[in-house]
Chains A and B, each alone.
Chain A
Amino acid sequence: MAFYFGLLQTIGIHTLLGLSAYILLLTGQLSLAQVGFFAIGAYVSGILTVIFEYHIVPGLFLGALVGGLFAFLVGFPALRVKGLMLVVATIAFSEIVRLFFFNLNWRVSVNGVEVGPDSTQGFREIRFYAANGWDTLDVVLFVWLFVVIVMALLWWLDRVRVGATLRAVGADELAAQSSGVNIVAVKVSAMTGGGIIAGLAGGLYAHSATYVDHLTFSVLLATFAVAYPILGGLSSVFGTLIAVIFVQGVLIEGMRFLGDWRNILFGLLIIIAMNVRPAGLIDGKVVLRIREALGTGKKSGGEGHAETR
């Protein structure tokens, strides 16, 4: 059971990380900075609960906020570059963050025990859950509470004008500008929102793992963050969730019995999935079919006009 609880936490946290990249992909920005915000959220909330003995809720909240603040600051220079240059610039940012934490040494004595980030040794004492008597099920539910809140929020945003505007910027920046959209404001907002979500995911990760070091926040994780929404498709937030379950549940855990062959099959299955479903696992057609099956004729774009036909 512990194994499945652990897997559920991983799936929840990776879903949040994927959604932080999803919101940016809607505006047409491919960012590998999400792992940087994730790391910031992890360290900030860890430091708050461990060194300053905060409760986890304000700890997570502030970690997410600091992640968002850095995303906001990164957003402006990042806007000057597009496409591949944005990818390179955001990798550079993530590496700066990783190397900062690689060097961060802040050991403090709390209740007679020395705790805090210990540069290369990592940050080892993030034990809020255990110290407060939360069992694994509590933690799973706590993580998924945030997953549900964030997914519901993004799902709703896609139904109001904000969502259509994000997608319009992703589809055609010039046409969006000419339709009155301030694309700088939209892109920076998306970056900030993504930073907040990634920071939140980082905080949850740090407390689930109880231990973080700079190696956790590699470019590989940054790649996963953008791979989930791309694999899942950008038609719906559920695509990202399905992709995380597919990758973490099926490909990584489900095929452990294959030993070393797993890694080969892993890449192969991703390639096959992308070829069979080029618009993602959950593409527009699937979304439409699910809506029909649920009998909700309503669709994005405000209520009431669905019956115009």
Chain B
Amino acid sequence: MLKLDDLSKHFDGVRAVDGLSLEVDQGEVFGLIGPNGSGKSTTVNLICGVLSATRGKVTFKGRDLHGLPPHRRLNAGISRTFQNIRLFGELTVWQNVWIARRDAPGREAGFIRNWFGSSARTREAIEETLVFADLAGRANDLAQNLAFGEQRRLELARAVAARPDLILLDEPAAGMNREEVEDLRQRILALKHDGITVLLVEHVMELVMGVTDRIAVLNFGKLIALGTPGEIQGNAAVREAYLGSPDSESA
């Protein structure tokens, strides 16, 4: 479904992502982990078009995404959340979801209806999304007045409202307590159940190991391991990358 081919991003000589090739299959929850600065967020930004690649390409559903700006990639079916919460603070919870809302293929509202009107179908869909994120009771509150955990859920709701085929979650569990992480795990499984492919960038291993089908491990912008959670946990190179090793320079 999503294919990265020799993807590279260099910032003034720093190779943030360096020749990364991997493939994410339809319907799986795919984990992307690695130590700080290993190129995970850069990879996410390359996939959704915030950054443009120095080399290599991103193919999604057989289509080369080269040169497509972020909003066109969303229309192509890729949505995301942000590592640092980026909501529209002075808009209501409802409006935050409303902006990102897309109709199902073949059922798109016309230009006038889309921008100047509203339909019962749209309202229902937004309410459904808010229920999914457990925010139904806060529809009319300003996003900036939500608690931290609620803001994280709203980010997820906004990404889901776009009806993506692939959703990129950039450290969604950062700053969450155990209970909230478990909540998030259930929500990710619900997305998977709905047939949405998930690319999860995360530091919270408890979540990564408990929800992903496969995991890719990055270090210094390169892929150092790829496998099931079980395989990754037993991988020596991964352990070295995270903990360091006295008798090896790098993995």
Contacts and interface: CB of A to CB of B under 8 A. Distances in A.
> Do A and B associate with each other?
yes
Interface of A: 160-162, 164-165, 167-168, 171-172, 174-183, 284, 299-306, 308-309
Contacts of A299: 92, 140
Contacts of B74: 178-180
A308 B139 contact: yes
A-B residue pairs, 4 tightest by C-beta: A179-B100, A175-B86, A180-B74, A302-B118
Given A164-B99, A172-B86, 5 more contacts: A161-B114, A178-B74, A179-B79, A180-B75, A308-B130
B99 A179 contact: yes
B102 A301 contact: no
Contact of B116 (A160, A175, A300, A306): A160
Interface in B44-94: 48, 50, 69-71, 74-75, 79-80, 82, 86-92, 94
Contacts, number: 112
A12 B90 CA distance: 29
Contacts of B100: 179-180
Given A176-B99, A179-B158, A181-B71, A164 B140 contact: no
B127 A177 contact: no
A180 B116 contact: no
A309 B86 CA distance: 25
A145 B168 CA distance: 50
Contact of A182 (B71, B86, B114, B122): B71
Contact of B137 (A181, A302, A309): A309
14 contacts: A161-B98, A164-B95, A164-B99, A175-B87, A179-B158, A179-B162, A301-B94, A302-B118, A302-B122, A302-B123, A304-B118, A305-B94, A305-B139, A308-B140
B116 A168 contact: no
Of A160, A161, A306, the most chain B CB neighbours within 10 A belong to A161
A160 B115 contact: yes
A282 to B, nearest CB: 14
Nearest to A186: B71
The size bracket of the interface on B is 35 or more
B210 to A, nearest CB: 27
Interface in B192-218: none
B82 A175 contact: yes
A289 B152 CA distance: 29
B117 interface: yes
B89 A171 contact: yes
Interface in B99-144: 99-100, 102, 114-118, 120, 122-123, 126-127, 130, 136-137, 139-140, 142
A162 B48 CA distance: 24
Nearest to A177: B70
Contacts of B69: 177, 182
A24 to B, nearest CB: 17
Contacts of B115: 160-162, 165
A308 B137 CA distance: 6
Given A175-B87, A180-B100, A309-B140, A300 B92 contact: yes
B123 A304 contact: yes
A192 B102 CA distance: 26
Interface string B150-174: 0000000010001000000000000
Nearest to B69: A177
A206 B115 CA distance: 34
B98 A164 contact: yes
A167 B95 CA distance: 10
Nearest to B161: A179
A174 B249 CA distance: 38
A164 B91 contact: yes
Given A304-B123, A305-B123, A174 B91 contact: no
Contacts of A160: 115-118
B118 A303 contact: yes
Contact of B126 (A165, A168, A303, A305): A305
Nearest to A304: B123
